[in-house]
Structure 1
Amino acid sequence: MEDIKSSNALIWSDRWRLGALSKAELMNIGFASVIIGMLFVLFHLFGNTVDSVNSSSAFQWMISRWQDKISFGADYSHGYLIPFVSLAVIWYKREDFFAAKKQVCYWGLAVVIGALMMHWMGAKMQQTRISLIALIGLLWGIPFYFYGWQVAKLLIFPCAYLIFCVPLNFLDALAGPLQRVATNMGYTMLTDMGIECERIGTQLLSPYFKLNVEAACSGLRSLLAMTALTAVYAYFTQKTFVKKWLLFLMSIPIAVAGNIGRIISIALVSITTGQEFGAGLHHDWSGYVLFTVAISLMVGFGKLLDLNYRELFGKWKEAYLSRS
């Protein structure tokens, strides 16, 4: 029972009861609440000027794009999870936030003004995406202004991570090239395995199966999901800035490799169990194959980056010299 009480004490303390807070702290909480409320009103009531959504809310526009099953928005169905991941990162780093030196920084005010101008420009251009990016800038710039660079530096990743919420329509142009890459690589691997196969456009034809790599199967959705997942994994597992970015950039070929593995699995299952099952039930559930391959590659490459190659070379050299 005492262990439970002690664990609860770590999560909640009497220090956070309203009666234990000082007047200045209560004023800060009230002021922060007013700012959050003003941001919500600004982007909920005056955030969207696009006619395709019957709402002036930028949040409603964004959620409708996540729910879109026809256009590129379907590739952002993971958007619901992104804010919770950002909040989890902030909670994980809470001790660093408390320990950070806090002071007013006017560079943060410049960021706030720039973000507000960006939102105005997005509304005038009827580009809600620009307004949502401006909101991310405000979420970073306001703490930067009130608390200084040390707090802002800790907020760079959780705020930047919110970009994965914003549907960026220009990424839809990647579907065509990804289709061709997946088709060409799938064809090469199948023929190298000795499987009779012919490639016509984005189709893979064989006496045993007929596969059409459509836009929905291009791997764009898995690419966006894997970049979001790899960003978090790299942030927590890699120690240096360069290694974090290396692992993050590797998410692109990793996602492509996972999609190629999915295509190969559909072809092999179609050969062994028939076209109906391979292109039917297995096709619908083959996303698990994709993410199994992709996540395995992500973890494996992360482990390779973590290795101390100088120490390994020293041990290899010592072992080699001892034998000679």
Structure 2
Amino acid sequence: MESTASVVWRPSGLVLTTLVVAAALLGFTFQHGIAELLRVWEIKEEYSFGYLIPFITLFLVWQRKDRLESVPFTGSWAGFALVLFGLLVYVAGELSTLYLLIQYALLLALAGLVLAFTGPAAFRVILVPLLLLVFMVPLPQFFLSEISQHLQLISSQIGVAFIRIFGISVFLEGNVIDLGTMKLQVVEACSGLRYLFPLMTLGFICAYFFSAPFWKRAFVFLSTIPITVLMNSLRIGIIGILVEFWGESQAEGFLHDFEGWIVFMACTAVLVGEMWLLNRFGQARRPWREAFGLELPAATPKDAPVHYRSLPVPYLAVLVLLLSTAVLSFLLPQRVEATPAREDLISFPLLLGEWQGVSDRIEQIYLNELKLDDYLIVNYAKPNQPPVNLYIAYYGSQRKGQSAHSPRTCMPGGGWRIADLEQASIDTDIFAGQLPINRALIQLGDRRQLVYYWFQQRGRVLTNEYLVKWFIFWDAITRNRTDGGLVRVVTPVLPGEDMKEADQRLASLVRHISPLLARYLPD
């Protein structure tokens, strides 16, 4: 009898045909999620490398061809269960019109399909290449915004410290670097995200090829985060120095973008140097070619007997499941998100009792970042009292991650430090007599401001940012709506002023505006 180790397993023509059919069914079923992926890769520089991930994954799977040829494919009902779970997530994504759910459902269904076809033994051989696909799916936008805000602040602080090493007088206010002659704004594009995700992907691939103990491979991958932060901070510092000596043009155009490429290549060099040092550290030293080598699959023995693979029953069941889902997705009409009737915020009254308001505007550069559908910004004042600024942002749809930016993450970007943040409530004639709010005391140097804010979303008043995301998902499924808004009021706390007076000003204005909000932020 032939030994299993000497047998070469290859797919038959029928097996290859079913694999093509399975790929076509996945592509048809998840077409909306795939189209959105392509759109994100096109417009977001931090994910522009996404085009390469499927091809790299295919190469890494092909690299294991010799090992796969020696393993019989037994199939697995666990793969069928994984595909079923992925399709349930897909249905939730389609009902909620949340592309992120559809994209992760695609990964689950693809992994389940492979497991149902290959079985556990072969699936373990290509598990890591399949995990690489996770890096091509963008993280939730609200999570990206929070990461970006923190990275901007850290990069600004380290960059300014580097500028001061050269004896240049510089002042940092949030994300604004003041060189005296001009100010540099460390915007989201300079936060380091455009380096972080590509470098993390590269770090994952390097760790995969690095023949070393697990802790060294994990260190290589995780070190991509501090490497990105430090190198991006260095870039900001260098730009500040160049601007100081050679003018504003050093921070714009081709030179600015070219510096970005140099920084990424420098990050890659640091990553490779780090692996070289780790390889020399410890007892398991080996030549660099052995420690980090791009091996090609071994050639198939010419005299090995060839067996053709059959179609496992779990895999056939997955094909039936995918076909049924594709037919249903074709027959069911596409869900169009409901848009409730509302008044435009431009009609919001400027006279509220004793409060007299003056409208203001947001600069286009900030509107491009906020991506809102309607907004109001008014400075209200009573005679002989400090003003209160009212800001309302409305989003007709938040299904693509375009939602209200939380003041909790935005305020530090302007240089303001949150000295105190708590949840409180205001007595009102609506909202069951109590309006829940976030109460924040912020400080910039000697200046202090008191901030109230809350999220008004389809009849709910919420103070927790993560609950906001949950109800966006829930209402998208149950009500086919994701509209909502943010309400924020701010007043200065004058030197020597009792904090209670600032609280009374904000509470007074909130009681005037709260009965009107349902007209502009519909229930």
Q: TM-score, normalised by structure 1?
A: 0.77
**Shift of residue 281 of structure 1?**
4.3
Measure, in 2, the Cα distance between the counterparts of 1:276 and 1:58: 40
Conservation of the 8 A alpha-carbon contact between 1:179 and 1:214:
yes
Q: Which residue of 1 aligns with 2:30?
A: 43
1:124 aligns with 2:99: no
- 1:204 is paired with a residue of what secondary structure? strand
Q: Deviations over 1:250-301 (max 9, x none)?
A: 1111111121121122123224433333545432321023113311221122
1:31 aligns with 2:6: no
Higher mean Cα deviation, 169-178 or 180-189? 169-178
**Shift of residue 138 of structure 1?**
1.9
In structure 1, the gaps of 5 or more residues are 1-20, 45-56, 313-324
Q: Which residue of 2 aligns with 1:161?
A: 132
| 1:96-111 → structure 2 map (5 Å cutoff) | 96-111=67-82
2:204 partner amino acid: A
Q: Which residue of 2 aligns with 1:62?
A: 37
**Shift of residue 101 of structure 1?**
4.0
1:139 partner amino acid: L
Q: 1:243 to 1:125 in 2, by over 3 A?
A: farther
Q: Which residue of 1 aligns with 2:196?
A: 223
Q: Which has the larger radius of gyration?
A: 2
Measure, in 2, the Cα distance between the counterparts of 1:129 and 1:259: 28
2:88 partner amino acid: M
Conservation of the 8 A alpha-carbon contact between 2:231 and 2:263:
yes
- 1:199 is paired with a residue of what secondary structure? strand
Q: Of the candidates 210, 216, 224, which is equivalent to residue 243 of structure 1? A: 216
Conservation of the 8 A alpha-carbon contact between 2:158 and 2:234:
no
**Shift of residue 306 of structure 1?**
1.8
**The structure with more helix, counted as a fraction of residues:** 1
Measure, in 2, the Cα distance between the counterparts of 1:260 and 1:159: 33
Q: Which residue of 2 aligns with 1:94?
A: 65
Measure, in 1, the Cα distance between the counterparts of 2:54 and 2:207: 18
Q: Which residue of 2 aligns with 1:273?
A: 246
Q: Which residue of 2 aligns with 1:193?
A: 166
In structure 2, the gaps of 5 or more residues are 1-8, 286-523
Measure, in 2, the Cα distance between the counterparts of 1:218 and 1:190: 17
Q: Which residue of 2 aligns with 1:214?
A: 187
Measure, in 2, the Cα distance between the counterparts of 1:133 and 1:159: 13
1:171 aligns with 2:144: yes
Higher mean Cα deviation, 30-39 or 225-234? 30-39
**Shift of residue 209 of structure 1?**
5.7
Q: Which residue of 1 aligns with 2:110?
A: 139
- 1:167 is paired with a residue of what secondary structure? coil
Measure, in 2, the Cα distance between the counterparts of 1:158 and 1:311: 25
Conservation of the 8 A alpha-carbon contact between 1:204 and 1:210:
yes
Q: Which residue of 2 aligns with 1:18?
A: none
2:77 partner amino acid: Y
Q: TM-score, normalised by structure 2?
A: 0.49
Conservation of the 8 A alpha-carbon contact between 1:175 and 1:218:
yes
Conservation of the 8 A alpha-carbon contact between 2:89 and 2:105:
yes
| 1:8-23 → structure 2 map (5 Å cutoff) | none
Q: Which residue of 2 aligns with 1:52?
A: none
1:293 aligns with 2:266: yes
Measure, in 2, the Cα distance between the counterparts of 1:276 and 1:131: 43
Greater than 4 Å deviation, 4+ residue runs? 278-281
Conservation of the 8 A alpha-carbon contact between 1:208 and 1:275:
no
1:65 partner amino acid: V
Measure, in 1, the Cα distance between the counterparts of 2:262 and 2:181: 21
Q: Which has the higher contact order (CA 8 A, sep 6+)?
A: 2
Measure, in 1, the Cα distance between the counterparts of 2:253 and 2:80: 56
Q: Which residue of 2 aligns with 1:53?
A: none
User: For the aligned residues, what is the CA RMSD?
Assistant: 2.3
Q: 1:32 to 1:258 in 2, by over 3 A?
A: same
